[in-house]
Amino acid sequence: MDLSPHPVPSPGEALKVTPMMEQYLEIKAANPGALLFYRMGDFYELFFGDAEIASRALGIVLTKRGKHQGDDIPMCGVPVVRAEEYLHRLIALGHRVAVCEQQEDPAEAKKRGGKSVVKRGVIRLVTPGTITEEGLLEPARANLFMTVARARVSDSEARFGLAFLDISTGLFGIGECDRQGLAAEIARIDPREIVVAEALYEDEGLAHLWRESRAAVTPVGRDVFDGASAERRLAAFYGVATVDGFGSFSRAELAAAAAAVAYVERTQIGARPALEPPRRDAALSHMAIDAATRANLELTRTLGGERAGSVLDAIDRTVTAGGGRLIAAWLSSPLTDPATIARRHDAVGWFCDDLAARTELRSRLKAAPDMARALARLTLDRGGPRDLAAMQAGLEVVAALQARLAREAALPALLIEAAEALARPDSGIAAGLAAALDDELPLMKRDGGFVRAGCDADLDETRALRDESRRVIASLQARYAEESGVRQLKVKHNNVLGYFVEVPQAAGEAFLKAPLRETYVHRQTMAGAMRFSTAELSDLESRIASAADRALAKELAIFDALAARVLADQAAIRAATEALALLDVVSALATLADEENHVRPLVDASLAFAVEGGRHPVVERALKREGKPFVANDCDLSGSDAGHIWLLTGPNMAGKSTFLRQNALIAVLAQMGAFVPARRAHIGAVDCLFSRVGAADDLARGRSTFMVEMVETAAILNQAGPRALVILDEIGRGTATFDGLSIAWAAIENLSAVNRCRSLFATHYHELTQLAKTLPRLANATMRVTEWQGDVVFLHEVAPGAADRSYGIQVAKLAGMPAPVVERARKILAELESADRTKTPARLIDDLPLFAVAPRPAPAAPRRDEVAEALDGLDPDDMTPRQALEALFELKARREAARKRPGP
């Protein structure tokens, strides 16, 4: 579909249009659905609906050019030199842009006739998932696009092949899932763009996935996902006879992978990125985390979509862009194999034990540029001198780190593999780049001036001729000014006139008369200035242009030779780049462990879940900034043949949700390979993590808050197995009390008897605590609080037992509820708690008239110094530290309560 709301005429319309506009319409028709950046000189111009969209999105002026069917043609443009800035804004809004360049010199077009149009063509399609420019990419975030292919297994069942690809680094992964797991995989991979066949895009049963995804969704024709030719197309892309050497893939996986490379070819239009062979990203090797759980736990972004405040933000200590992308990938895809997890823990532990090595390696890593993306740009022939410089600096870091690791006698397995990868690149490439590249480099190679003097004798000679000519022009300008008597005379240059003399308009009148007109030929009159040329300038221009062109051509040849040398060793360089990212991540996790007092967890194949002194990494970080301590808590859900369930009661604001989330996050951190915020942790590898926390509706799908709660709970009860970890908060609260209680009751029984998984279940239904008498794997736990004269003090401690009340009125008071409302609520609560269960609602309302006037409080008695009296009754010698802390909290609560009471 065309994005343009304004009608765009087809190129075959009988309506007369200019040759230039006819060319535009032909190119636009070939690229529907994309904004067309049509190169005209120093600008990219947009017309018709594209111009209207771009002017609104970019905040630029909408003008007009010519007419179509009697109406003005909308037009706007952006300078070529600032195109990257405008592209960034358009891509961020989800637009696709077709970049159309001039493909011949305007002088060649003129040879074909005065009305001939410069040949133009689209050189690439820029989409959210296929950008490579450094200025358009987030350094620490992978820029993936995903293709989704469907393969029918039966009339009622289908499998979905997934391929995800990052052109900016060459990453290429594939996998497969069922319909139920598709949303979770999209959330885990977190692509910037999703490419699907039109039939899949229009499937009503999947429409919510495309709508809810943060990614731009691009529907394409069915030919892109042709399963019959998928294997042949994939083999042709890699230039191999068969893809069997890459692994064994399903029909759905092959269709998705072939669609991915087809989309690369379609968007890059002739440019060929160096992609890794596709690697299977097996779902069974990762902890399954559905989209709702990822959102609830705020792993890589908060509920508001921000990185700040997320778990990733709290744990990321990486110092390189590649390391930042890798730690996000580890956090998004925790492992399930204890042996592989232990390899990561061994590497983190080595850096924890050797502070000197960690400090030295991290210091060197800080100097490493983003080699992966620089290499990708060079592969696509979009690289510049600074990309070559990035390769030079990166390879120097690689060599230094390899030499440092080579001195270590006992490295863990993961670091041995990293050291081997660091030794692979050609050691002479960095030296060659250092010898050829100048210290100050332009962004674009077309600007020249990036080759170091002395690198090439022919280039030095050509540059000397070019630079000498510049001095000749300065001398010529001085002579012309002296001869004409016009001190404001300047010799300038542009692409239309070449070199010319420019003088103020008042002085220019004299140049139109003898004797000056014999030397100066009038070329152009400007507002306030006149321009002239001379035979001498024309001759000099020819010589200067020749020298400058030869110098630039020589530099470009040197650039191509340097790039070719880098690309010849790209497989080894890519492996070394991955090793740098790995070293950055494991050393960063060791730094995190030291800074935040994290410990190495034991992860095995048991059903254990024993955490001593567990903490929430994000909440603890926030409290630390405020100078407050985090109250650590234990959790033990371990079982031999099935997991245990903790039923957690206590008031709001006491920390139930924090406790639930922190234990889920400890499992995620442990299995991603990090140390965990606890005194000790023993985790039996969790294969699925489910969370039902918080309340939200889904009005777009016609779902109330309660319906969303039930859908998510149903998904958990239908999928969780013995190795899962489930955290549930306030199930059933969105409906009538007894309905909600019944649902929560039945859910707990199902978790115990059917799912048999490790679970934390927070609730305000105190009646559920009685289930501990009949369910042997269920234990009651509560958030400890203390109360003093109607005020509640939260201790944030988890203790065995059950809460006897929810302290809702006390919390309402803390929230600032008006005093009459609080007192009225207290009276109603007292009546409700003492009322007979058989009393009818009408009788209860009669007893508690709605507009009853609260009694006027009696005059207060003279105050006693209650804090002093309580302090006199304490004997510190007979108190344990815990009792002393509790007494301190109680004294503080009394003092605050005394301050709030009115005076006598």
Residue 653 among known ligand-binding residues: yes
Q: Is 194 helix (H, G, I), strand (E, B) or coil?
A: strand
Q: Residue 105 carries which side chain, given as an amino acid letter? A: D
Handedness of CA 765, 767, 769, 775 (dihedral sign): negative
Q: Is 822 helix (H, G, I), strand (E, B) or coil?
A: helix
Residue 652 among known ligand-binding residues: yes
Count of C-beta atoms within a 10 Å radius of residue 31: 17
Within 13 Å and on the Cβ side, how many CA atoms surround 628? Answer: 10
Rounded CA Rg of the chain: 36
Within 13 Å and on the Cβ side, how many CA atoms surround 467? Answer: 7
- Give the DSSP H or E segment for 295: helix 291-297
Residue 495 among known ligand-binding residues: no
Count of C-beta atoms within a 10 Å radius of residue 384: 21
Q: Residue 599 carries which side chain, given as an amino acid letter? A: V
Residue 657 among known ligand-binding residues: yes
Which residue carries 């060319």 as its tokens?
Answer: 23
Contact at 8 Å (CB) between 616 and 656? no
- Taking the chain, what is the end-to-end CA distance rounded to the nearest angstrom? 78
Output the CA angle 426-428-432, nearest 5 degrees. Answer: 130
Contact at 8 Å (CB) between 149 and 255? yes
The widest CA-to-CA distance across the chain, in whole angstroms, is 120
Count of C-beta atoms within a 10 Å radius of residue 645: 27
Closest to 54 (Cα-Cα) out of 83, 77, 26, 28: 77
User: How many Å apart are CA 145 and CA 142, to the nearest integer?
Assistant: 10
Partners of 760 in beta bridges: 646, 727
Contact at 8 Å (CB) between 299 and 154? no
User: How many Å apart are CA 691 and CA 712, to the nearest integer?
Assistant: 9
Helix 413-422 to helix 385-406 angle (10° resolution) is 130
Token representation of residue 343: 């390899």
Q: Which 8-state DSSP code applies to residue 221?
A: -
Which residue carries 């012309």 as its tokens?
Answer: 480
Q: Residue 488 carries which side chain, given as an amino acid letter? A: Q
User: How many Å apart are CA 148 and CA 175, to the nearest integer?
Assistant: 10
Contact at 8 Å (CB) between 744 and 763? yes
Residue 31 among known ligand-binding residues: no
Residue 650 among known ligand-binding residues: yes
Q: Tell me the CA distances in angstroms from 250 to 221, 264, 285, one per residue in order.
A: 22, 21, 17
| Cis peptide bond upstream of 515, omega within 30 | yes
Residue 369 among known ligand-binding residues: no
SS3 content of the chain, % helix, strand, coil (to 5): 50, 20, 35
Which residue carries 């321009």 as its tokens?
Answer: 531
Could you tell me how many helices (H) and strands (E) the chain has, helices first?
31, 27
Within 13 Å and on the Cβ side, how many CA atoms surround 820? Answer: 7
Instruction: Report H helices in 383-515.
Output: 385-406, 413-422, 428-436, 457-484, 505-511
Closest to 348 (Cα-Cα) out of 590, 76, 596, 598: 590
Q: Tell me the CA distances in angstroms from 377 to 44, 130, 391, 446, 695, one per residue in order.
A: 22, 12, 11, 15, 45
User: How many Å apart are CA 657 and CA 728, to the nearest integer?
Assistant: 9
User: How many Å apart are CA 435 and CA 427, to the nearest integer?
Assistant: 14
Q: Is 722 helix (H, G, I), strand (E, B) or coil?
A: coil
Binding residues are 650-657
Q: Which residues are annotated as a binding site for ATP?
A: 650-657
